[in-house]
Structure formats: structure tokens, C-alpha cells
């Protein structure tokens, strides 16, 4: 009871401090005749958005679960760091610097994941978790689909029936994608394994190169097609996206990209625009050199 009173008081003080603040945020797009979500749930989805950073979730898990998560994070980070230091800088695994870094990393992770949270943070986390679960339940019950929009970076709610109709219409119109009758994942997986082992047996690649390209059975996944809505266009058409990050061939493509990318950048950098910032710098240089004419 005392804890609850303290939480309520902190929450009231927090609300009083925000009385003069006006929240401005884009609204979620609801493209269904009647939505079962209430105003609080819709406001949460609007304010949160796809890029929302959730509050610390550690209070939702047991101490044992948090400790396990810390150890897994520590192991994953150390595997990446040690492989890089050994390969690029020839630092042995038993070096003092690696041991000290491992200790400092573990301490830092414990501070991030295990540090006690304030009552206000615990209250907020559990409230948001309960709200999120209620949203998931209602979306599933209403057969709705929640997706991030194509360009505006906000959420869109539509019906699964509408998504299926538009996706099928897109496939029929373009002929770009077909539905497979069977799953070829393990056939592709076996062929990749056979090819890599053959290259290694003929000494065309080294052992460490084989390890880089070798797919792992527990993480591979067949590439799949999904769609995101484009509400900025009439009728809210769908944009197709193919996710192939976990294909059996992903390791090969990443390894080849790492080898070929420096060569490509060396010869094509002058005619390659990386992003918007790079474009602005190019235009400034273009203007300075007198190439831009009125």
C-alpha cells in the first residue's frame, strides 16, 4: 500500500510539471470501418510510433532472467571483439587487455540491466506493458494488422482481408512473385554446405573463410515477402519488401561484399552518393567549383 501511494504521488507531481507542455505528434492512420481500440490505446500508438524507445524492461523479468541476459550479451559482444582483435591486430586471446575489457564490459552490462529502478520507472514500464498487451489482444481479436507506413514513419492499422486482397492483386498484376508449393530452405541449405565444403577440400578457400560463409542450421530462414502500406497514395497501395537476411547464402554475400566493396568504392566513390548529407556536400563542392549555373 505504501509503495502504491508513493507511486501515485510521484505520478501526480510528474503530471503537474507537464501541465504547461503541449504534446505534438503524428496520428496513427486507422483504415478500418470501426476500430475496437479506445482513445488511450490509439494515443499510445500515435505517440510511440515505430521509433519509440521503451523504458527499461528489467522490472518485468526475474533476477535470474536478467542475469542470463547479461551473460548472453557479454558472450556475444566478446565473441565479436575478440575475433576482430585476433584477426586484424593479432592480439592473443589470453592478452591482459582482452581480460580487462571483458571485466569492464560485464560490470557495465550489470549496471545497465541490474541497477534498481525508481518507483516511477517501474510504474511506467508495467503500465505500458499492460497497455501493449491489451492492444495486441484487441488487434488479434479484430483480425487487424499493424504496420509501419512506407515513408511517413508512423503506424497504420488495416484489416488482414484488405492486406491479402491487395497483396494478391499486386502479385497478379506484376507477376513478380509466386507462392511456393513447398519449402526449399533445406535443399538450398544442403547445396550451400556442399559447395563450401567442396571449395575447402580443394583449398580454394581457407578455414577461417569457410567459417565466415558457413550457414548455421539453427538461425537460417527462408526469404519471405511482406508488404507495408503507402497511405500517402490514393487507395493506400502496398509496397513489397523481401526479407532475406537469414538465408543460407547470406554469409557468402556478406563475405564477398567485404572483399569487393573496397575495390568498388575506390573506383566508383566519386560518382556514388551515399545519403542526403553526402548529396548536400557534393552540391556545395559542385557550386564552389563553379559547375552549377543559374
In this structure, the answer to whether residues 51 and 135 fall within a common structural domain is: yes
42 in Cβ contact with 108 (< 8 Å): no
In this structure, the answer to whether residues 71 and 91 fall within a common structural domain is: yes
Model pLDDT, residue 194: 97
In angstroms, the CA 78 to CA 72 distance is 10
Length of the chain: 294
pLDDT band at 4 (very low <50, low <70, confident <90, very high): low
In this structure, the answer to whether residues 90 and 13 fall within a common structural domain is: no
- Residue 92 phi, psi dihedral angles, 5° rounding: -65, 155
Highest mean pLDDT among 22-36, 108-122, 176-190, 280-294: 176-190
Residue 208 lies in a domain: no
In this structure, the answer to whether residues 139 and 111 fall within a common structural domain is: no
3-state DSSP assignment of residue 178:
coil
Q: Which long-range contacts (CB under 8 A, 24 or more apart) does 172-177 make?
A: 176/240, 177/225, 177/240
Residue 98 lies in a domain: yes
Residue 46 lies in a domain: yes
Could you tell me the CA-to-CA distances from 35 to 32, 97, 231, 237 in Å, in that order?
6, 57, 17, 20
193 in Cβ contact with 214 (< 8 Å): yes
Residue 106 lies in a domain: yes
Task: Find the helix or strand (DSSP H, E) in which 131 lies.
Answer: helix 119-141
In this structure, the answer to whether residues 52 and 67 fall within a common structural domain is: no
> How confident is the model over 189-230, as pLDDT tens digits?
999 999 999 999 999 999 999 999 999 999 999 999 999 999
Residue 133 lies in a domain: yes
Number of domains the chain contains: 2
Model pLDDT, residue 191: 97
In this structure, the answer to whether residues 74 and 106 fall within a common structural domain is: yes
- Residue 228 phi, psi dihedral angles, 5° rounding: -120, 145
Mean pLDDT estimate for the chain: 87
Model pLDDT, residue 111: 85
> How confident is the model over 138-184, as pLDDT tens digits?
999 999 999 989 877 789 999 999 999 999 999 999 998 988 899 99
User: What region does 235 belong to: left with phi over 0, alpha with psi -120 to 50, or beta?
Assistant: left
Residue 229 pairs with which residues in a beta bridge? 238
- In angstroms, how far is CA 179 from the centroid of its own chain? 26
Residue 241 pLDDT more than 70? yes
In this structure, the answer to whether residues 111 and 4 fall within a common structural domain is: no
In angstroms, the CA 96 to CA 113 distance is 26
122 CB contacts (<8 Å, ≥6 apart)? 7, 59
Residue 2 lies in a domain: yes
- In our burial notation (b when 16+ CB lie closer than 10 A, e otherwise), range 156-179 reads bbbeeebbeebbeebeeeeeeeee
In this structure, the answer to whether residues 121 and 40 fall within a common structural domain is: yes
What whole-number percentage of the chain has pLDDT above 90? 48
Tell how strand 155-159 and strand 224-229 pair up: unpaired
Residue 75 lies in a domain: yes
In this structure, the answer to whether residues 38 and 126 fall within a common structural domain is: yes
Model pLDDT, residue 6: 56
pLDDT band at 8 (very low <50, low <70, confident <90, very high): low
In angstroms, the CA 42 to CA 29 distance is 10
> How confident is the model over 85-120, as pLDDT tens digits?
888 888 888 899 999 999 999 999 988 888 777 888
In this structure, the answer to whether residues 68 and 165 fall within a common structural domain is: no
Residue 52 pLDDT more than 90? no
In this structure, the answer to whether residues 16 and 107 fall within a common structural domain is: no
Lowest model confidence (mean pLDDT) among 1-5, 63-67, 125-129, 274-278: 1-5
Model pLDDT, residue 282: 86
Q: Which of 176, 204, 220 is the last residue of a domain?
A: 176
Q: What is the average pLDDT across 120-126?
A: 85
In angstroms, the CA 118 to CA 217 distance is 42
227 in Cβ contact with 239 (< 8 Å): yes
pLDDT band at 251 (very low <50, low <70, confident <90, very high): very high
In this structure, the answer to whether residues 74 and 89 fall within a common structural domain is: yes
Model pLDDT, residue 7: 58
Residue 139 lies in a domain: yes
89 CB contacts (<8 Å, ≥6 apart)? none
Domain containing residue 169: 1-56+117-176
DSSP H helical ranges for 31-118: 39-48, 63-89, 96-114
Amino acid at each position: 500500500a505504501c509503495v502504491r501511494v508513493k507511486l501515485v504521488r510521484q505520478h501526480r507531481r510528474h503530471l503537474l510539471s507537464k501541465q504547461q507542455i503541449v504534446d505534438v505528434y503524428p496520428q496513427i492512420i486507422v483504415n478500418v470501418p470501426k476500430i475496437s481500440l479506445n482513445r488511450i490505446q490509439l494515443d499510445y500508438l500515435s505517440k510511440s510510433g515505430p521509433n519509440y524507445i521503451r523504458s527499461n524492461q528489467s522490472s518485468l523479468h526475474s533476477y535470474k532472467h536478467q542475469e542470463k541476459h547479461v551473460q548472453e550479451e557479454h558472450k556475444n559482444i566478446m565473441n565479436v571483439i575478440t575475433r576482430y582483435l585476433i584477426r586484424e591486430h593479432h592480439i592473443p586471446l589470453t592478452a591482459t587487455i582482452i581480460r580487462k575489457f571483458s571485466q569492464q564490459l560485464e560490470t557495465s552490462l550489470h549496471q545497465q540491466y541490474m541497477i534498481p529502478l525508481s518507483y516511477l520507472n517501474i510504474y511506467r514500464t508495467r503500465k505500458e506493458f499492460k497497455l501493449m498487451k491489451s492492444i495486441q489482444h484487441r488487434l488479434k481479436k479484430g483480425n487487424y494488422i499493424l504496420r509501419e507506413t512506407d515513408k511517413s514513419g508512423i503506424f497504420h492499422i488495416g484489416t488482414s482481408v484488405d492486406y491479402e486482397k491487395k497483396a494478391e492483386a499486386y502479385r497478379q498484376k506484376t507477376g513478380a512473385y509466386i507462392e511456393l508449393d513447398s519449402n526449399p530452405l533445406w535443399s538450398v541449405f544442403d547445396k550451400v554446405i556442399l559447395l563450401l565444403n567442396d571449395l575447402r577440400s580443394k583449398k580454394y578457400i581457407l578455414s577461417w573463410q569457410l567459417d565466415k560463409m558457413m550457414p548455421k542450421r539453427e538461425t537460417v530462414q527462408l526469404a519471405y515477402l511482406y508488404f507495408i502500406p503507402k497511405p500517402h497514395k490514393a487507395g493506400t497501395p502496398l509496397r513489397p519488401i523481401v526479407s532475406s537476411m537469414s538465408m543460407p547464402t547470406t554469409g557468402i554475400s556478406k563475405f564477398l561484399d567485404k572483399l569487393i566493396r573496397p575495390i568498388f568504392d575506390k573506383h566508383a566513390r566519386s560518382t556514388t552518393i551515399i545519403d542526403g548529407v553526402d548529396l548536400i556536400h557534393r552540391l556545395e563542392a559542385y557550386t564552389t567549383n563553379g559547375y552549377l549555373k543559374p
